[in-house]
Structure formats: structure tokens, C-alpha cells
């Protein structure tokens, strides 16, 4: 099953820590957002494989915007 991780707030994509095809573990940071000079890690609560990235570093994102797709194992 593929799940889309969405932005919890308006922010800038500061750093992407994974690539398509990477295996991730529960609660591993997938990317870092920056808002008001604060770094906010984006995590997914389940193990899986990254199947799509919807943003690039430097992009501005809004609340609820799709960031990354992860297929659960």
C-alpha cells in the first residue's frame, strides 16, 4: 500500500534525506522543512520504500501538500 506523506505546515524544503528506491525505517527523518528559522523533520511511522518525491530542495510547500510517497512493507 502506498501512502503519501504531506506537509504539516507551510514551509521551505531545506534538505531531502532520501531518494526514490531507498528503504526507510519507522520514524526515520525523510526530509527537513524550515519555517521561521526552525528545522522540522518529516517522518513516516512505518517501514517501507520511497517510491516518489513530489518536491525538491528549496521548494516552498503549503499545508497538506504531498511531499513523498512511501510503499509500506
The CATH number that applies at residue 22 is 2.40.50.100
> Which segments of the chain are extended strands (E)?
2-6, 11-16, 23-24, 29-35, 38-43, 48-53, 60-61, 66-72
Range of the domain at 58: 2-72
Q: How do residues 9-59 score in pLDDT, each as one tens digit?
A: 999 999 999 999 999 999 999 999 999 999 999 999 899 999 999 999 999
pTM comes to: 0.91
Q: Which residue has the cell 512505518?
A: 46
What domain count does the chain have?
1
For position 8, what pLDDT does the model report?
93
pLDDT at 68: 97
Amino acid at each position: 500500500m502506498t501512502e503519501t506523506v504531506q506537509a504539516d505546515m507551510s514551509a521551505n524544503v531545506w534538505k531531502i534525506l532520501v531518494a526514490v528506491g531507498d528503504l526507510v525505517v519507522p520514524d526515520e527523518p525523510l526530509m527537513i522543512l524550515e519555517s521561521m528559522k526552525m528545522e522540522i523533520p518529516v517522518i513516516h511511522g512505518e517501514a517501507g520504500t520511497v517510491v516518489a518525491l513530489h518536491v525538491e530542495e528549496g521548494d516552498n510547500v503549503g499545508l497538506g501538500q504531498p511531499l513523498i510517497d512511501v510503499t509500506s512493507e
